[in-house]
Structure 1
């Protein structure tokens, strides 16, 4: 199931300014992506972020908290 498009937007990373990440949206708006404590302490997370930045990939970011989505553009299926 796809996340509601009102909950996330697409952003392309521009720079790492620890502990935050600078990015821009598809409309060109500049945003700052905030990292949580777990992400700040995870070397694998920062390695992945550097790879995403280098590859110029677009990532999903929550509109409310300006944080990276941990499930891409997919939402978990509701329990039945």
Structure 2
């Protein structure tokens, strides 16, 4: 099992979509290239969702150490765990 530190998971914007990869830019202007998940080929809305995120400029979580998109968002924990 790979250890992941808090600094490995960062917000990033999609800046490019390829046939098998997604290119992202972090807040520190680091470029991270990730492979599309294996499930993306079977998921009919995955690429459209990625295009929508690219167009909107949303920031999404990415593990820059493992070069992977995260399948959950920042608020994966129960809302009771957060203080606003």
Rg comparison, structure with higher value? 2
**Matching residue of 1:47:** 48
- The answer to whether residue 13 in structure 2 is matched with residue 24 in structure 1 is no
The alignment partner of 2:39 has SS state of helix
Structure 1: tracts of 5 or more residues without a match:
none
Structure 2: tracts of 5 or more residues without a match:
79-84
Q: How many residues align?
A: 74
State the 1:71 CA deviation: 1.1
User: Which structure exhibits the higher relative contact order, with contacts defined as CA atoms closer than 8 Å and separated by 6 or more residues?
Assistant: 1
User: Matches of residues 1-80 of structure 1 in structure 2 within 5 Å?
Assistant: 5-76=6-77
TM-score by length of 2: 0.75
> Is contact 2:32–2:64 with CA below 8 Å preserved after alignment?
no
State the 1:57 CA deviation: 0.7
